[in-house]
Amino acid sequence: MSIKFRLILMNFLQFFVWGSWLISIGGYLGGTLHFTGAQIGAVFSTLGIASLFMPALMGIVADKWLNAERVLGICHIIGAGMLIWASTITDPSMFFWVMLLNSMFYMPTIALNNTVSYIVLEQKGFDIVKDFPPIRVWGTIGFIAAMWIVDLFGWTSNANQLLFSAGAALVLGLYSFAMPPCPPVKSQKEKSFLTSLGLDAFVLFKQRKMFIFFLFAMFLGAALQITNAFGGSFLESFKSTHPDSFGVKHPNVLLSISQISETLFILTIPFFLNKFGIKKVMLISILAWVFRFGLFAIGDPGSGLSLLVLSMIIYGMAFDFFNISGSLFVEKESPASIRASAQGLFMFMTNGIGAMCGGYGAGLVVDHFTLNGITDWQSTWFAFAGYALVLAIIFPIVFRYRHDPEGIHSYRH
């Protein structure tokens, strides 16, 4: 078995574990366990809470004491146990705490998976920049495959999705120990916890453009969690009016179009960045969120199915033009001495604070438009679209940045 194939399998399983429940858990919690919007949002906020500190903590463990592949394996095995435990719980408060424990051990594995891939490729003499992306794309394929399997086996509305994810996590945990050794690198310079978090990059906040950029990164990070948390619950609500529609029968397959779109829009980023610059690309992303939510508001799994499909396609632009382009912008604008920390700060603001606030805040909005257990989803999605529209109006006014076409080579590395 070639080392590339082994890494492809590792990346495939890494996101297969997540795709097994992330998109469908909201429908299970709301439709089957009857959690409130705030309780569902709280579960999704665990991803943000864990991202505030656990990736840095496990990164330090892998940097100083344990092989990275072993830390990866241990985290996945513990996470599998948490998912099995979660599958037996119906109490909202207890479910939150168990899923927080799961997030604390899953979220670090995203970075650890990359670390193991980088080290192994380097050990074997491969070009990381050239050879890793074709391997990493199998992670997205794994995410989509898991969504489809959970959907086609009818597990979107029950706890089997959590058990299925746990099984995949256990397999990956054991498989990780079979990867080539990735020992800690002895460094002359100690890497502090603040550096690992990216917090020493807070010096960038002294620059007005970077302060505004990171602030909007947090606001858009909040938007990322909204349809993850409530897309499944939204489609679940049509069971009484459109019971035989494709979107109700196969919600995960419909929602997976978003991830498929994401893989395609990545390919367009160099063109858009080079042609228009980060300010216009970020504005396009924010406007895409307006349409993402707006189309959910006016679409349905019946005659409005095409509007939902269009919303899924637009998601790729909304996500990539912010997440990937934003990371490239941070790389270009940060001093070489703190580039890694700056990327950590970008993730801290989006996947940490943004996701935490977005998950819980979105739940409060859903509850506001819910009466007697019935949610006015049209008003809910229009409220989210209004949130994105306000960002779209303010962003170009306050973010002052002049695109330099001569510097386009910076976005190609």
Q: Is 270 found in the same domain as 136?
A: no
Residue 141 maps to a domain: yes
CATH number of the domain that residue 72 is part of: 1.20.1250.20
Q: Is 199 found in the same domain as 96?
A: no
Calculate the dihedral angle through the C-alpha atoms of 153, 73, 320, 394, rounding to the nearest 10 degrees: 110
Q: Is 362 found in the same domain as 311?
A: yes
* 315: nearest Cα among 280, 343, 289, 334: 289
Q: Is 315 found in the same domain as 207?
A: yes
130 CB contacts (<8 Å, ≥6 apart)? none
Strand partners, 318: none
Convert the pLDDT of each residue in 105-119 to its tens digit.
999 898 888 888 988
Q: Is 252 found in the same domain as 165?
A: no
CB of 86 within 8 A of CB of 99? yes
Please report the pLDDT score of residue 196 as a whole number.
Answer: 59
Convert the pLDDT of each residue in 354-400 to its tens digit.
988 988 899 999 999 999 889 999 999 999 999 999 999 999 999 88
Residue whose structure tokens are 């995949």: 168
pLDDT band at 199 (very low <50, low <70, confident <90, very high): low
CB of 331 within 8 A of CB of 407? no
Strand partners, 74: none
Greatest CA span in the chain, whole angstroms?
Answer: 65
Convert the pLDDT of each residue in 39-72 to its tens digit.
999 999 999 899 888 887 887 788 788 998 999 9
Of 179, 203, 219, the last residue of a domain is: 179
Backbone angles phi, psi at 267, to 5 degrees: -70, -20
pLDDT band at 410 (very low <50, low <70, confident <90, very high): very low
**Domain tally for the chain?**
2
pLDDT band at 408 (very low <50, low <70, confident <90, very high): very low
Token pair belonging to 161: 């999705």
Q: Is 215 found in the same domain as 170?
A: no
Strand partners, 374: 371
Between residues 217 and 188, the one the model is more confident about: 217
Residue whose structure tokens are 């990346």: 11
Of 179, 214, 229, the last residue of a domain is: 179
Q: Which of 327-331, 334-338, 401-405 has the highest mean pLDDT?
A: 327-331
Residue whose structure tokens are 């009857």: 34
Q: Is 266 found in the same domain as 141?
A: no
Q: Is 392 found in the same domain as 313?
A: yes
Residue 25 maps to a domain: yes
Residue-number span of the structural domain to which 294 is assigned: 195-413
Mean of the per-residue pLDDT values of the chain = 88
pLDDT band at 90 (very low <50, low <70, confident <90, very high): very high
CB of 252 within 8 A of CB of 24? yes
CB of 168 within 8 A of CB of 13? yes
Residue 26 maps to a domain: yes
DSSP string, 96-111: HHHHHHHHHHHHHHHH
